[in-house]
């Protein structure tokens, strides 16, 4: 019934979305959970590492929408761009992501070089079977370039930060595929060319709580258009800041808020006669890659977490200590891939659909995070993405993209009004 109402309102929803899509992120992705009784984004990523998971059917659309996104910032085909990579030099799948993103940009007419913060130290490296192996350089470029082999044997050439900085004048823009969890290098902060997405919106400053505050405001508008409670599109949440998860009083504070949140979820379940047991996720407010995150069925479980669980919650990516958390309503998934539970990851460029793939996990159930050990990704061809489920997941992701747009605006121009309904 919910899906049917959304589909019936699509013309009005499209008009509403188009009116709000201003200065949208160059690209983004969202994790969409479909519980059958509600469908919602549970996380949004400004620096998606899933371009390698896009089915080749979607490459033409990705090229066109990346081109349109760059054109919005005055970057025209023929302009050279610098793509900033994460330092996952041993992660063959991430390297594949970088290779595909570079290929898509170049198909759009943008010659692309790749730089990373990984220090090369005058060596030339090749990745084979996950091992980083050094060998004697045969090229004068070896002092500033590393050649890394992806999972499919494609070669990715990475420049050192020093070389990239020295040659920054050759580029029209910096394209970030690095989430800056530990901060952004000064040479990128000081660049005189566009940085897309904005460096100020790395995970050193981004906040899940801020993002979902914007997302929930937008979902109130969507709910009014569709004629349903906006809760059907957004998870309830609570924010906790400045705590040490190892301290008893901190876990007590989190537990108290979790108890309130669980009661709020149960009230919604009772209101709509949903026969599910509420649960919550506790996740780093500035986190990514599914790190520093656990799910709980009761507040008491938070008080009683063991040492291993405390350690998992205490540090996130790049070993950054977590002090701020988001408690988020758990949305179960009814989506399956064969015997295993799955969820959709929808990718956008210029806030337009460029593909969907499934995150599948062999070791998890419908109530836990699938973004963890045991997961794999399944590219979905165009023929499997022309259904109503994909249309709904796409519009939810576009709303998440507008929420990201507003979050970035606050971070880049904190003293200027970006929109009329900015949350306090």
The Cα–Cα gap between 197 and 319 comes to 23
Whether 237 is in a domain gets the answer no
Could you tell me the pLDDT band of residue 47, with boundaries at 50, 70 and 90? very high
Query: CA angle, 180 as apex, 406 and 161 as ends, to 5°?
Result: 130
Whether 230 is in a domain gets the answer no
Whether 259 is in a domain gets the answer no
In the chain, the number of structural domains is 1
Is the model's pLDDT at 306 over the cut of 80? Answer: no
Instruction: Extract the tokens encoding 240.
Output: 């906790």
Whether 165 is in a domain gets the answer yes
Whether 235 is in a domain gets the answer no
For the stretch 140-182, pLDDT in tens is: 444 456 788 888 888 888 888 888 999 999 999 999 999 888 7
For the sheet with 173-176, list strands across it: 145-149, 155-159, 112-116, 81-85, 173-176, 195-196
CATH number for the domain harbouring residue 162: 3.40.50.11280
Whether 35 is in a domain gets the answer no
Burial class (CB within 10 angstroms; exposed 0-12, middle 13-18, buried 19+) of 316:
buried
Q: Is the pTM of this model over 0.95?
A: no
Domain of residue 175, residue span: 71-201
Whether 126 is in a domain gets the answer yes
Whether 419 is in a domain gets the answer no
What average pLDDT does the segment 33-51 reach?
96
105 within 8 A of 65, measured Cβ to Cβ: no
For the stretch 209-264, pLDDT in tens is: 999 999 999 999 999 999 999 999 999 999 999 988 888 898 999 999 999 999 99
The Cα–Cα gap between 103 and 158 comes to 14
Residues of the chain above pLDDT 70, percent: 89
Assign 384 to helix, strand or coil.
Answer: helix
Is the model's pLDDT at 138 over the cut of 70? Answer: no
Mean pLDDT of the chain: 88
């Amino acid at each position: 019934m919910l899906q049917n109402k959304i589909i019936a309102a699509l013309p009005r929803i499209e008009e509403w979305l188009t009116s709000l899509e201003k200065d949208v992120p160059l690209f983004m992705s969202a994790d969409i959970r479909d519980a059958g009784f509600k469908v919602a984004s549970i996380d949004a990523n400004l620096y998606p590492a899933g371009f390698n998971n896009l089915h080749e059917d979607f490459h033409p659309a990705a090229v066109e929408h990346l081109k349109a996104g760059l054109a919005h910032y005055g970057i025209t085909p023929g302009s050279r761009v610098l793509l900033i990579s994460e330092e996952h030099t041993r992660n063959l799948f991430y390297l594949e992501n970088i290779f595909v993103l570079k290929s898509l940009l170049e198909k759009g007419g943008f010659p692309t070089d790749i730089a990373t913060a990984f220090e090369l130290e005058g060596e030339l490296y090749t990745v084979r079977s996950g091992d980083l192996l050094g060998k004697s350089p045969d090229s004068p470029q070896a002092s500033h370039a590393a050649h890394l082999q992806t999972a499919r044997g494609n070669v990715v050439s990475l420049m050192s930060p020093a070389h990239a900085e020295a040659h920054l004048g050759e580029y029209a823009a910096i394209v970030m595929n690095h989430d800056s969890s530990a901060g952004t290098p000064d040479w990128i902060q000081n660049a005189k060319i566009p940085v897309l997405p904005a460096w100020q919106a790395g995970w050193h400053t981004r906040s899940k709580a801020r993002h979902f505050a914007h997302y929930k405001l937008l979902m109130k508008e969507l709910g009014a258009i569709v004629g349903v409670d906006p809760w059907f599109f957004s998870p309830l949440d609570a924010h906790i800041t400045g705590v040490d998860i190892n301290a008893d009083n901190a876990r007590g504070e989190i537990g108290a808020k979790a108890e309130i949140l669980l009661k709020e979820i149960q009230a919604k379940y009772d209101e709509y006669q949903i026969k599910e047991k509420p649960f919550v996720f506790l996740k780093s407010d500035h986190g990514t890659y599914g790190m520093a995150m656990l799910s709980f069925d009761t507040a008491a479980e938070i008080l009683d977490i063991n040492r291993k669980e405390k350690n998992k919650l205490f540090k996130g990516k790049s070993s950054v200590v977590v002090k701020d958390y988001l408690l988020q309503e758990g949305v179960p998934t009814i989506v399956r891939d064969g015997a295993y539970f799955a969820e959709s990851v929808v990718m956008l460029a210029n806030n337009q659909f460029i593909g969907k793939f499934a995150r599948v996990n062999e070791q998890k159930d419908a109530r836990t995070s699938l973004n963890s050990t045991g997961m794999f990704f399944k590219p979905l061809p165009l023929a499997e993405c022309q259904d109503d489920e994909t249309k709904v997941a796409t519009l939810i992701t576009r709303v998440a993209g507008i929420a990201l747009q507003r979050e970035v605006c606050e971070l880049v121009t904190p003293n200027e009004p970006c929109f009329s309904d900015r949350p306090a």
